[in-house]
């Protein structure tokens, strides 16, 4: 049986899905290299942020935490991110957690409720002692939602509808071919069973 090439619609759909998957991998929200470490009490600490969702003000904090004397990861620490809005005084906090794979890297997702500049402070507590250091400020401004989301929804909906129509068309085409193959030709006599 010969394989037919994919119809242009399916080729375009496969290309669009591959592009979307590639872009989602490229925008993975992980830190690159460790930023410069600073001394805070008995620790060597570095803090950086990555904006996860700019339109809804979600920010991920990354805290690198090492023993200030030995340079070893501090795996059993309690790391808390405190935030404060400069204009309104509104405060918030979140715990940062580490994983066994990266015991020196603590992560916290913070959602800011209001607009403005949010200052952050990193509080660390472990058997080595307590420390506090200022973290990076985050600027939050809610924008009107862009048309990109609407276009993405429209394109996705059209692709789903187009795919459904294509599948329906192919099913009907196969059914029509099957019924045509089963219908006797005009020159063939029909045999009717006698009872």
pLDDT at 30 over 70: no
Q: Locate the domains of the chain by residue range.
A: 8-24+146-180, 29-140
Alpha-carbon span 90 to 164, nearest angstrom? 50
Per-residue pLDDT, 13: 66
**66 neighbors 43 (Cβ within 8 angstroms):** yes
Extract the tokens encoding 189: 């006599």
Domain 29-140 has CATH 2.40.50.100: no
The residue ranking higher by pLDDT, 163 or 76, is 163
| Mean pLDDT on 114-120 | 90
Q: What is the mean pLDDT of the chain?
A: 82
Alpha-carbon span 168 to 180, nearest angstrom? 18
Lowest mean pLDDT among 43-57, 121-135, 136-150: 136-150
Lowest mean pLDDT among 1-15, 33-47, 179-193: 1-15
Reported as a pLDDT band with limits 50, 70 and 90, residue 120 is very high
| Mean pLDDT on 175-194 | 73
pLDDT at 188 over 80: no
HEC assignment per residue over 92-155: EEEEEEEECCEEEEEEEEEECCCCEEEEEEEEEEECCEEEEEEEEEEEECCCCCCHHHHHHHHH
- Encode 104-121: b = buried (16+ Cβ within 10 Å), e = exposed: bbbbbebebeeeeebebe
Per-residue pLDDT, 107: 94
Reported as a pLDDT band with limits 50, 70 and 90, residue 27 is very low
The residue ranking higher by pLDDT, 132 or 26, is 132
Q: What is the DSSP string of 2-41?
A: PPPPPPHHHHHHHHHHHHHHHHHHHT-----SPPPPEEET
Per-residue pLDDT, 58: 84
The residue ranking higher by pLDDT, 57 or 152, is 152
């Amino acid at each position: 049986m010969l394989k037919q090439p994919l119809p242009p619609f399916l080729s375009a759909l496969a290309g669009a899905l591959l592009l979307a998957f590639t872009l989602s991998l490229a925008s993975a929200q992980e830190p690159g290299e460790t930023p410069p470490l600073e001394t805070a009490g008995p620790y060597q600490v570095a803090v950086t942020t990555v904006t996860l969702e700019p339109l809804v003000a979600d920010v991920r904090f990354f805290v690198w935490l090492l023993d200030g004397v030995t340079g070893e990861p501090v795996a059993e620490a309690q790391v808390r991110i405190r935030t404060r809005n400069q204009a309104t005084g509104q405060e918030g906090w979140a715990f940062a957690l580490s994983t066994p794979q990266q015991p020196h890297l603590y992560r916290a997702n913070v959602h800011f409720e209001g607009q403005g500049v949010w200052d952050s402070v990193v509080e660390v507590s472990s058997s080595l002692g307590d420390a506090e250091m200022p973290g990076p400020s985050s600027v939050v401004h809610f924008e009107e939602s862009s048309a990109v989301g609407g276009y993405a929804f429209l394109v996705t909906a059209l692709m789903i509808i187009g795919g459904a129509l294509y599948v329906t068309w192919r099913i009907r085409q196969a059914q029509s071919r099957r019924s045509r193959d089963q219908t006797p030709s005009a020159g063939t006599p029909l045999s009717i069973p006698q009872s």
